[in-house]
Structure formats: C-alpha cells, structure tokens
C-alpha cells in the first residue's frame, strides 16, 4: 500500500525465564502511514515498550523476537542483517527513550553524543556534525546551543535532556520516530511543552511518529490513530476520533472513563478493578476477562478473535455497541 | 578543581603527620630508643654523642620535633650495617624497585584491560569463563612460591632466562636503569611478571565487571538505537566509563606493588628497596627500617593524592561538583 | 517495560537458599570436596604418618634431600622426598597445613571480633565516635598489609601467636568498614526503631538485633579472607619473620627448598607449594561462589 511506512504482522516476542518462555508481545499487528502519528497505549506490563524495541531489533536476552514480519518501507527488518539494522537505526528510524538521564553517557559531552548520530551514518566531518547539532538544539528551544555542546549530561535538567534526545532523533531527518513514554519521567509542566514541540517538529519534518504511552490524554491531543494494548495484544485500534468517541472494547472504555473529566465533576472517578496480569500469570481465554464487567463463560474459555470493521479492529466477544459513546 | 586539589593536599599532609606520630611513638615511645637507634657496637662516648644529637635525653614532645626537623632535612638516621645515612641508601635502591614496579604495572594494565574487556563483553562465553577461572588462580597463587616456580621453569628447566639478579644498567640523568639494555630486560622479565600476575588478575576482574555492567546500561542501548557502530560503542562509550575505576585501582595498587616487591625482590635477589628492607630486618638495622617506613608512607600518600586528582580530571561529575563523587 | 516475574514468597531462610544454590555448582562442589579433604588430612594425618618431622629425635640427617619415592634409613618410604634436614615432606606438609589452618582461622576470628565490634560501635553511636574510628580504619587501610605485618613482626619477634597478632592488626580494619556499612543500613529499619522505643538498652540492641542481621556480608568476606591470612602467614614465614624454625609451616618448608631449586632438587619447594595452593584455591573458589550466591539472593 502506498503511504504505508511501517507494517507489523504477527509480532511475537518472548522472554526466556527460568521456567519457560513468556510472551511479552503476543501476536501484534500495526500499521503506520508516512507522516502519521500513532499512539500505542497500554498500562505498564502490557508489552508496549517491548513492541517498540522489537521493531528496531533491540530486544536483548533473555528476550527474543520469535515470529512476525516488520516491513519498513517495504523491507522486512526481521530478515535484515545486524549491519543493515544499524544503518537504519538513528538514520531512518530514530528512538527516544523514557529516562533521559540514563540514556546519555555521563562521561561524554552532549555535543559528541549528538554528533555521533550524524557521523556514524557517514555524515561528513566533525565540525559539520556539531554545527547541525547546535542548530537542532536551537530548534528545540535550547538557547546558547553552541556553548551547550561542550557540556555534560548532568549539567542539564530533565526537561532539557529530553529535548536533546528529541533534537538528536531529528538530526538525520528520519522517516519514523519511536518515542517511548518520553514525557513520563518529566514534570507535568514540562510535559505539555515537550508534547507541543514534538508535534510541531514531526509535522514540519514529515516524520511518522509512534508515541508509546499509558496516558490517553496525550494520545487524544497528539495522535491521528491509536492502538490499545493489553497483555501483549492489540485489543482495539482505529482512528483517534473513532476509538475515543466510540470505543468497542471494554478496556478502552475503562481507560477513557478513568480520565478525569469536567462534565462529570463531583462524581466518583471510575477505576478498572484489578491489575494487569503479570507476564507469568496470563489466564486462558481473554486476558481481560478477570477485570471485565461484561465477561461471560465464553470469555474465560476462548480467546477472542480479531474483528475488523470499517477501518477499526478490536478483539472482544461482547464488544460495546456502536454509538455507545459518552 | 583547585579547591578540591587543595583539600586533598591538606588531607595528605595530615596523613603524613599522623604516620610520623605513629612511627615516632613506636620507636621513641615504646621500647628503648637508644637500643633502636644506637649501634650496639658503639662506644660509650659515641653513644653519649648520638644521644645528644638525636635529642634522646629531651622530653618526648621535644624529641618529636627534633625527629620531624631531622626528617624534613633528609636526615632519617644512619644505617648500622652500612654506616651511611639511611635515606641515601634507600634512595640509591629506588630506581631498581621502580623499574620493576613500572614494568609490572605496564604488564598488568597492558594485558589486563584488553583481556578484561574480552571477558566482560560476553560473560556467558567459554572464553570469559576460562579467563575468569584463570584470574582466581592468579590471585590464589602464593607470591613467593609462584616466583620460585617461574625460576624453576624458565631459568632452570628451560634455561631461557637468568635465575636472579639485575642485569646491565645504563646511566640516564644520574639514574641507573636496566630497562634499556637487552641483558637488563632479560633479568627484568621474570620478576616483573611475578609481580604483575596477581595485579593483572585483579585488573581483569575489575575490567570484566565494569564492562559487563556498562554494557547493560541504558546509554549503550541508546547508542545502538542511534546506529553507532559496535566498535565505537566498546572503545569510546564503554572504555571511557571503565577507565575511571581502573585508574583509581592502578593508583592504589601502585603502593601495593611497591610493598609486594619486597617478596619478589627477595626471591629474585633483586637489589631494590624491598630487599633492603628485608635484609635490614634480619640484620636488626633499625634506623633503616624506620627510614623505610617514613619514605614508603610519603610515597603512598603522594600516589593517592595524584590518583584522586587524576580521577577528578577524568570524571567530569567530580570536577564540577568540587568534591569526590 | 515488562518486568521479569517476581517469585511468590519463598519462605526458606537465606542461609539455606544460598547453600542449596552452592551445592548445584560443579566447580564449587569440587572445591568444597578438595577443601574438606585437605582439612581432614591436616587434622588426622599427623596421627597416621610414620614420622613426626618436628620431633628432632625422629629425623635422620642422613636422609636428607632424597627424591620422592626413596626409602629412608628407618625403612619407610618418603613418598614426596625429604628436605635438607631429612624430614619426610609428606608428614611435614600435613603438619604445616595444620599450622596454616590454625593461624588462618584464629587470625580471621580475632580480626572479625575486633573489626565487627569497632564497626558496630561506629554505626551505633555515630557522630564523633564514628568519625574518629573511621579515620583510624582509613589510616590502616591505606597501608599494604604485608608491610604492616613485616614491620610489626620485626619489632615484636617471631612466634605463632605473634604472627596471629600481626594478621589481626592487618585485617580488622576491613571488617570494621564493612560491618559499619551494613549496620548503618540495618539501623534504619523499623524493628530497630521499635526496640529503641521499647526502651531496650543499647548494648542489648546492638548485640541481639543489629549484630546478627548485619553480619552476613561481613562473614562472606571473611571466608575469602581466611585464604589471605593463610597466605600472609606462609609469606611471613618464608621471609623469616613468621613462625620460628622449630614449628611446622609450609612457608618455611618452601624457604628451605629455595636454595636447592637451582640444582634441580625441586620437590622440597614444589610439594609444599602445591599443598598451599590447593588449600588457598579451594577456599577462594568456595568463598567466591558463596559471595555470588549471597549477593544475588539479597536483591
């Protein structure tokens, strides 16, 4: 399909633990079109971060990607060599991690760490790379960029470090950026700023964006399409408007309901009972059944297949009716 | 950086002072200083003269001041056996010990870092397990026996290298060194190797642990996500991080090497400071022992100071914070 | 990020879990076996061998420097040869191992006693007491152990008890530092606070609560340090400042054999050295595994 930048089919990633292999990503399908923003939503433990790493081949032992196709601009990344993947990473596909403190090497300067993103992909000489880095820092709103380049990570605040990460990701004008909860570790006030900047920059450069988060409000603001993950599977996916206005899966509904809302001020804030299943305790049948109020015997016994309907997908035996909007 | 350096300098001076007090008390306070510092064969007249010069008839605190005064003027007593000022004697043996220690350190670091890197990059591999097993052997072998076995194998059985002693020396800037002659090197190899092995084992373990830890850090994963080549990740990102603890250890171990050289020098009949110490202990040449302690302490303190300053230079977090991490 | 599953509470005490894990490692098992064998030989051996090499009437100088396997004047075989005084090396090694084990254990116990007390005190009382004690500890730790021991023995003379004292002086500081660190962590825990609130006397809290719960990591280090103590004794004896010549010591045996090395009479130094190496190596391997099991279980 033209316009489709990334197509993931049947992705399966397991972790080899002492007592067996447990699937963190259990048959995931995703698509991202060029220039589109996809929000990948889920609680912690849902497998969303592992999905991100699996796409670029950065799953380390004891994890292993054991099945699926990851087509990026027509090329199957799972069949690519280590060197080919390396070439793509940081150049065509960039990543932004969650904790900016841990992701920058404390003993090397910011300038060096930014420049290497350019230099390692054959981008000319050091001076040119540093100039690009300075310019990129300016674009994300860091002043006195040139002086900043010779500073070290611990001299930057959390918000600034994340801006550095964003600037670095954009250096080689990638086609796809995978951002893994980039604002979670930051102050609420900074979050908004970063979000805004990311959105602007993504639109400006035409890069597609996969935004991994547990926060639906972010998705609502930022994304074109959304995929909701639960226990390693996509339980619902579609355009943001469709899914958020009229969710078909009870989990999505639950997530939406637990977001504080002006209209229901004063009412008790609904929460989804229970907790997401841990890696080793996934129940048979639908993974969400233990927490679902609509669950029936069938749900507990049988894994719901995927239903595709008018550009949307969901997995549920008893989906919410259409028009069941708030 | 300047404040940090000053802080450390002052601390070092205090340590030296403390050491001098301890030594002073051990010699002048406990036991009979006259016994210790006056040669047994001295006549009554010489004894009286020495007592006066060393101030042994003064109150204790005044004696301490005399002691420090003399020390600062380079007078740490006179050897009974050799009859020359202790300091002169020790300093004349210093180059021999130094070249041994330097070569040993070079071997330990030069081989230790690459081997440790190899072991740490894939801790599950066969190579890594063999290397780590080797290090346990390396630090379990008793130093003196290991030296003897080296002599047995390489000098007696194989006949490749000389059994003991120092080789031909060359005079550079007033210092004699055997590092620059083939004969000198032939004599240096076995004792340097002997001295190096336990340190190398330590270095390998340190580097391996550091590498394994660094490899698991997020910044390595992030570098991979940026598409940095594996080569650069190892030699720039990881190495730079482990160099810091390595440098610290090298500095600390320097003092340890000088100490352990006493054993190696004894086994290989190497004419260094260590052998001098052992000989003086046998011969009850006490002023020499006292002088050695003071000199050794000054050496350790200086080395520690240098290491701390180097550490600050390497780790930007320390430098900017102004105090040790 | 999906996390590895946390095992549901396993109630087996840490001690047992560590030992169980240890039993599963083949190298550690092997080392443990070797160690047990050595200890057994050292304890029992002297009763079984035909000659007490340290009884001057039992040895015959005509037997000296005989290669392994030769027969002696009294009729029995010297399986490992004899030394310059005609001592049966096999017997001498067994006696020497006894000394090594005795000194190693006694010195470690002594250093532990002193170090743990100092560390516990520093942690409990904090403030100036802590600062002072730790200054002393740092001072001692700044010097290489061999030098401290050498100089000490040079002034107080030779003897098994003196060697033990010297090793204690050298080793206690490390234990003090470790104990203090562990106790400081333990002190913050709630059960200590509860005990203090109940008005229990400080000494009692230190002894009955703080001590048993912080000493784990220190003991693990102590296991390996026994090897260090043994090596130190052998080295000091080799250098002639340790155990006196009339007492058995592997270091002395090796020293005696040194001069004959060049003429190819290797056995006098080789076999005692191998015995010493076997002892030290097995302790180190077991201690190392113990430490690793302990560390991973503590997390």
Q: Is C67 on the interface with B (CB under 8 A)?
A: no
Q: Residues A157-193: pLDDT tens digits?
A: 888 888 899 889 988 889 999 999 888 777 777 777 7
Q: Report the pLDDT value the prediction gives residue B92, as an integer from 0 to 100.
A: 86
Name the residue among B219, B226, B317 with its Cβ closest to that of A117: B226
The CA distance from C159 to C178, in Å, is 30
Name the residue among B219, B227, B314 with its Cβ closest to that of A120: B227
Is the Cβ–Cβ distance between B192 and B103 less than 8 Å? yes
Q: Report the pLDDT value the prediction gives residue C297, as an integer from 0 to 100.
A: 65
Sign (positive or negative) of CA dihedral C253, C254, C259, C263: positive
Token digits of residue B86? 């202790």
Nearest CA of chain B to the CA of C272: how many Å? 9
A154 vs B33, more confident:
A154
Residues 6+ apart with CB under 8 A from A323: A246
What residues 260-289 of chain A have any CB closer than 8 A to a CB of chain C? 278-281
Q: Residues B258-305: pLDDT tens digits?
A: 888 889 999 998 988 888 888 887 777 777 877 888 888 788 778 778
Contact yes or no for C146 and B259 at CB 8 A: yes
For residue C179, is pLDDT > 70? yes
- What is the full DSSP assignment across B210-252? HHHHHHTSHHHHHHHHTT--HHHIIIIIIHHHHHHHHHHHHHH
For C282, name the nearest residue in chain B, comparing CA atoms only.
Answer: B140
pTM across the whole model: 0.78
Token digits of residue C143? 């010097």
Q: Residues B229-257: pLDDT tens digits?
A: 999 998 889 888 888 888 878 877 887 88
Q: Report the pLDDT value the prediction gives residue C63, as an integer from 0 to 100.
A: 67
Give the pLDDT band of residue A264 (cuts 50, 70, 90).
Answer: low
- Beta-strand ranges (E) seen in chain B are 170-172, 175-177
Q: Residues B97-155: pLDDT tens digits?
A: 988 999 999 999 999 999 999 998 888 888 998 998 899 999 899 999 999 999 888 88
Closest CA to A39 of A186, A188, A242: A242
Q: Report the pLDDT value the prediction gives residue B322, as an integer from 0 to 100.
A: 42
Q: Report the pLDDT value the prediction gives residue A232, as an integer from 0 to 100.
A: 87
What residues 290-319 of chain B have any CB closer than 8 A to a CB of chain C? 293, 296-297, 300-301, 304
Beta pairing, strands B175-177 & C70-71? unpaired
Q: What is the mean pLDDT of residues A6-33?
A: 87
Give the pLDDT band of residue A89 (cuts 50, 70, 90).
Answer: very high
Give the pLDDT band of residue C9 (cuts 50, 70, 90).
Answer: very low
Contact yes or no for A116 and B217 at CB 8 A: no
Least confident of A47-51, A257-261, B4-8: A257-261
Cβ contacts below 8 Å, chain A against chain C, sum to 25
Closest CA to C100 of C269, C235, C284, C258: C235
Closest CA to A38 of A55, A63, A23: A55
Least confident of A8-12, A215-219, A280-284, C125-129: A280-284
Structural domain harbouring C120: 100-254+277-298
Q: Report the pLDDT value the prediction gives residue B28, as an integer from 0 to 100.
A: 63
Q: Is C1 on the interface with A (CB under 8 A)?
A: yes
Q: Which of A218-227, A271-280, B15-24, B244-253 has the highest mean pLDDT?
A: A218-227
Q: Report the pLDDT value the prediction gives residue B59, as an integer from 0 to 100.
A: 73
For residue C231, is pLDDT > 60? yes
Residues 6+ apart with CB under 8 A from C250: C93, C96, C97, C99, C100, C234, C237, C272, C273, C275, C276
Q: What is the mean pLDDT of residues C287-297?
A: 75
> Is the residue at A280 inside a domain?
yes
> Is the residue at C58 inside a domain?
no
Q: Report the pLDDT value the prediction gives residue B41, as an integer from 0 to 100.
A: 73
Q: What is the mean pLDDT of residues C217-241?
A: 88
Q: Residues A200-238: pLDDT tens digits?
A: 888 888 889 999 988 888 888 888 999 999 888 898 999
ipTM: 0.83
Instruction: For residue A289, give the CATH number of its domain.
Output: 3.40.50.300
> Is the residue at C85 inside a domain?
no
Q: Residues A119-142: pLDDT tens digits?
A: 999 878 889 999 989 988 888 888
Token digits of residue A302? 């049988």
Contact yes or no for B228 and A120 at CB 8 A: yes
Nearest CA of chain A to the CA of B252: how many Å? 22
> Is the residue at C124 inside a domain?
yes
Token digits of residue C212? 């048993």
Contact yes or no for A58 and B225 at CB 8 A: yes
Contact yes or no for C281 and B259 at CB 8 A: no
How many separate domains does chain A show? 1
Q: What is the mean pLDDT of residues C119-132?
A: 85
Phi, psi of C131 (to 5 degrees): -60, -45
> Is the residue at C284 inside a domain?
yes
C294 vs B32, more confident:
C294
Place of tokens 């209209």: A263
> Is the residue at A165 inside a domain?
no
* CA angle (B242, B243, B249) in 5-degree steps: 100
Nearest CA of chain C to the CA of A40: how many Å? 13
Closest CA to B103 of B174, B199, B183, B204: B199
Give the pLDDT band of residue C186 (cuts 50, 70, 90).
Answer: confident
| C-alpha distance across the termini of chain C, in Å | 19
Q: Is B37 on the interface with C (CB under 8 A)?
A: no
Give the pLDDT band of residue C203 (cuts 50, 70, 90).
Answer: confident
Please, what is the angle between helix C211-239 and helix B143-150, to 10°?
40
**Which residues does residue A4 pair with via DSSP β-bridges, in sequence order?**
A33
B286 vs A244, more confident:
A244
For residue B31, is pLDDT > 70? no
Q: Report the pLDDT value the prediction gives residue C107, as an integer from 0 to 100.
A: 94
3-state secondary structure of A292: coil
Contact yes or no for C239 and B278 at CB 8 A: yes
The CA distance from B31 to B33, in Å, is 6
Nearest CA of chain A to the CA of C21: how many Å? 14
Token digits of residue A159? 């918000």
3-state secondary structure of B174: coil
Token digits of residue A94? 């960039």
What are the angstrom distances between the C-alpha of A95 and each of A90, A103, C2? 7, 11, 18
The CA distance from C64 to C60, in Å, is 8
Structural domain harbouring A244: 4-99+175-315
Q: Which of A235-239, B159-163, B177-181 has the highest mean pLDDT?
A: A235-239
For residue A302, is pLDDT > 60? yes
Sign (positive or negative) of CA dihedral A97, A101, A105, A110: positive
- The Cβ of residue C95 has, within 10 Å, a number of other Cβ atoms equal to 22
Q: What is the mean pLDDT of residues B42-71?
A: 74
What residues 232-261 of chain B have any CB closer than 8 A to a CB of chain C? 255-256, 258-260
* pLDDT-above-90 percentage for chain A: 25
> Is the residue at C1 inside a domain?
no
Q: How many CA atoms lie within 13 A of B278 on its CB side?
A: 24
Q: CA-based diameter of chain C, in Å?
A: 77
Query: What is the DSSP code (8-state) at residue B78?
Result: B
Mean pLDDT of chain B: 81
Q: Which of B33-37, B305-309, C266-270 has the highest mean pLDDT?
A: C266-270
* CA angle (B149, B151, B155) in 5-degree steps: 135
Q: What is the mean pLDDT of residues C96-111?
A: 92
Closest CA to B97 of B252, B247, B257: B257
Phi, psi of C65 (to 5 degrees): 55, 40
* pLDDT-above-70 percentage for chain A: 90
Q: Report the pLDDT value the prediction gives residue B192, as an integer from 0 to 100.
A: 92
Q: What is the mean pLDDT of residues A278-288?
A: 71
Q: Please report residues of C whose CB lies closer than 8 A to that of A49.
A: 1-2
Instruction: For residue C207, give the CATH number of its domain.
Output: 1.10.3720.10
3-state secondary structure of C218: helix
Q: Report the pLDDT value the prediction gives residue C273, as an integer from 0 to 100.
A: 92
For residue A247, is pLDDT > 60? yes
Q: Report the pLDDT value the prediction gives residue C233, as an integer from 0 to 100.
A: 93
Please, what is the angle between helix C250-261 and helix C89-125, to 10°?
130
For residue A51, is pLDDT > 90? yes
What are the angstrom distances between the C-alpha of C44 and each of C37, C41, C89? 10, 5, 16
Q: Please report residues of C whose CB lies closer than 8 A to that of B263.
A: 146, 235, 238-239
Alpha helices in A215-291 (DSSP H): 216-222, 240-245, 250-257
Residues 6+ apart with CB under 8 A from B229: A86, A120
The CA distance from C120 to C184, in Å, is 9
Q: How far is CA B183 from the centre of its chain?
A: 25
C11 vs C293, more confident:
C293
Q: Is C273 on the interface with B (CB under 8 A)?
A: yes
Contact yes or no for B26 and C155 at CB 8 A: yes
> Is the residue at A111 inside a domain?
no
Sheet of A233-239, strand order: A93-96, A176-180, A208-213, A37-41, A225-230, A233-239, A312-315, A306-309
For residue C57, is pLDDT > 90? no
Q: Is C211 on the interface with B (CB under 8 A)?
A: no
Give the pLDDT band of residue C68 (cuts 50, 70, 90).
Answer: confident
The CA distance from C189 to C231, in Å, is 38
How many separate domains does chain C show? 1
Least confident of A242-246, B298-302, C64-68: C64-68
Q: Please report residues of B whose CB lies closer than 8 A to that of A212.
A: none
Give the pLDDT band of residue B169 (cuts 50, 70, 90).
Answer: confident
For residue B323, is pLDDT > 60? no
Residues 6+ apart with CB under 8 A from C223: C283, C286, C287, C290, C291
Q: Report the pLDDT value the prediction gives residue C115, as an integer from 0 to 100.
A: 92
> Is the residue at A137 inside a domain?
no
């Amino acid at each position: 399909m033209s316009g489709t930048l990334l197509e993931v089919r049947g992705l399966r990633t397991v972790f080899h633990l002492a007592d067996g292999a447990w699937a963190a990503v259990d048959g995931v399908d995703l698509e991202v079109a060029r220039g589109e923003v996809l929000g990948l939503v889920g609680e912690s433990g849902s497998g969303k971060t592992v999905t991100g790493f699996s796409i670029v081949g950065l799953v380390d032992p004891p994890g292993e990607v054991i099945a699926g196709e990851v087509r990026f601009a027509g090329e199957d990344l799972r069949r690519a060599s280590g060197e080919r993947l390396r070439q793509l990473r940081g150049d065509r596909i960039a990543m932004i991690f969650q904790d900016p403190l841990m992701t920058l090497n404390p003993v090397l300067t910011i300038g060096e760490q930014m420049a290497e993103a350019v230099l390692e992909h054959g981008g000319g000489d050091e001076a040119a790379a540093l100039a690009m880095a300075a310019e990129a820092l300016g674009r994300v709103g860091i002043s006195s960029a040139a002086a900043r380049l010779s500073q070290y990570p611990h001299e930057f605040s959390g918000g600034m470090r994340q801006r550095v990460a964003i600037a670095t990701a954009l250096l080689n004008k990638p086609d796809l950026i995978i951002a893994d909860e980039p604002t979670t570790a930051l102050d609420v006030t900074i979050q908004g700023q970063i979000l805004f900047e990311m959105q602007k920059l993504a639109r400006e450069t035409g890069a597609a964006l996969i935004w991994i988060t547990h926060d639906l409000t972010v998705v609502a603001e930022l994304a074109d399409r959304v995929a909701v993950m639960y226990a390693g599977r996509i339980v619902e996916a579609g355009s943001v408007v469709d899914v958020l206005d009229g969710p078909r899966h009870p989990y999505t509904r639950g997530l939406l309901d637990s977001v504080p809302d002006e209209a229901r001020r004063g009412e008790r804030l609904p929460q989804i009972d229970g907790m997401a299943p841990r890696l080793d305790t996934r129940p048979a049948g639908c993974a969400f059944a233990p927490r679902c109020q609509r669950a029936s015997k069938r749900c507990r016994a049988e894994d719901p297949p995927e239903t595709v309907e008018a550009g949307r997908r969901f997995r549920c035996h008893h989906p919410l009716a259409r028009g069941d909007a708030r | 950086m300047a404040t940090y350096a000053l802080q450390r300098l002052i601390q070092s001076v205090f340590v030296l002072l403390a050491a001098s007090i301890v030594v002073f008390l051990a010699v002048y306070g406990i036991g009979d200083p006259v016994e210790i510092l006056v040669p047994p064969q001295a006549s009554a007249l010489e004894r009286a003269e020495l007592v006066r010069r060393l101030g042994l008839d003064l109150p204790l605190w005044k004696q301490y001041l005399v002691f420090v005064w003399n020390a600062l003027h380079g007078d740490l007593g006179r050897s009974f056996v050799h009859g020359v000022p202790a300091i002169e004697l020790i300093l004349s043996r210093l180059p021999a010990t130094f070249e041994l220690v330097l070569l040993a350190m070079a071997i330990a670091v030069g081989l230790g870092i690459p081997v440790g890197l190899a072991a740490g990059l894939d801790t599950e591999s066969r190579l890594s397990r063999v290397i780590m097993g080797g290090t346990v052997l390396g630090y379990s072998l008793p130093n003196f026996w290991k030296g003897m076995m080296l002599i047995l194998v390489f000098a007696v059985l194989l006949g490749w290298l000389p059994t003991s002693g120092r080789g031909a020396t060359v005079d550079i800037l007033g210092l004699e060194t055997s590092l620059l002659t083939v004969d000198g090197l032939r004599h240096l190899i076995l004792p340097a190797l002997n001295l190096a092995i336990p340190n190398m084992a330590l270095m390998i373990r340190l580097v391996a642990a550091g590498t394994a830890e660094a490899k698991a850090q997020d910044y390595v994963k992030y570098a991979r996500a940026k598409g940095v080549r594996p080569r650069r990740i190892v030699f720039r990102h990881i190495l730079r991080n482990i160099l810091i603890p390595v440098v610290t250890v090298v500095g600390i171990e320097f003092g340890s090497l000088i100490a352990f050289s006493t054993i190696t020098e004894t086994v290989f009949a190497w004419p260094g400071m260590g052998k001098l110490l052992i000989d003086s202990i046998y011969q009850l040449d006490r002023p020499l022992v006292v002088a050695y302690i003071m000199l050794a302490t000054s050496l350790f303190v200086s080395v520690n100071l240098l290491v701390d300053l180097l550490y600050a230079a390497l780790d930007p977090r320390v430098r900017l914070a102004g105090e040790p991490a | 990020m999906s996390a590895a599953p946390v095992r549901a509470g396993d109630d087996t005490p840490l001690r047992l879990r560590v030992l169980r894990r240890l039993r599963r490692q083949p190298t550690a098992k092997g080392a443990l076996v070797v160690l047990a064998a050595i200890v057994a030989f050292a304890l029992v051996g002297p009763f079984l061998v035909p000659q007490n090499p340290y009884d001057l009437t039992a040895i015959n100088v005509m037997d000296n420097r005989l290669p392994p396997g030769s027969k002696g004047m009294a009729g029995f075989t010297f399986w490992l040869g004899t030394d310059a005084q005609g001592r049966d090396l096999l017997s001498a090694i067994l006696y020497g191992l006894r000394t090594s084990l005795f000194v190693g254990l006694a010195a470690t116990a002594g250093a532990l006693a002193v170090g743990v007390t100092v560390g516990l005190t520093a942690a409990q009382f904090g403030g100036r007491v802590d600062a002072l004690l730790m200054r002393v500890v740092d001072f001692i730790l700044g010097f290489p152990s061999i030098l401290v021991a050498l100089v000490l023995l040079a002034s107080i003379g030779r003897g098994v008890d003196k060697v033990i004292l010297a090793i204690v002086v050298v080793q206690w500081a490390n234990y003090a530092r470790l104990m203090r660190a562990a106790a400081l962590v333990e002190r913050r825990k709630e059960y200590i606070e509860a005990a203090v609130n109940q008005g229990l006397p400080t000494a009692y809290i230190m002894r009955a609560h703080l001590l048993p719960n912080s000493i784990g990591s220190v003991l693990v280090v102590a296991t390996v340090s026994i090897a260090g103590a043994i090596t130190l004794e052998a080295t000091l004896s080799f250098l002639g400042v340790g155990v006196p010549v009339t007492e058995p010591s592997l270091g002395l045996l090796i020293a005696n054999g040194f001069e004959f090395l060049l003429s190819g009479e290797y056995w006098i130094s080789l076999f005692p050295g191998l015995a010493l190496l076997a002892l030290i190596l097995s302790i180190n391997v077991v201690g190392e595994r113990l430490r690793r099991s302990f560390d991973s279980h503590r997390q």
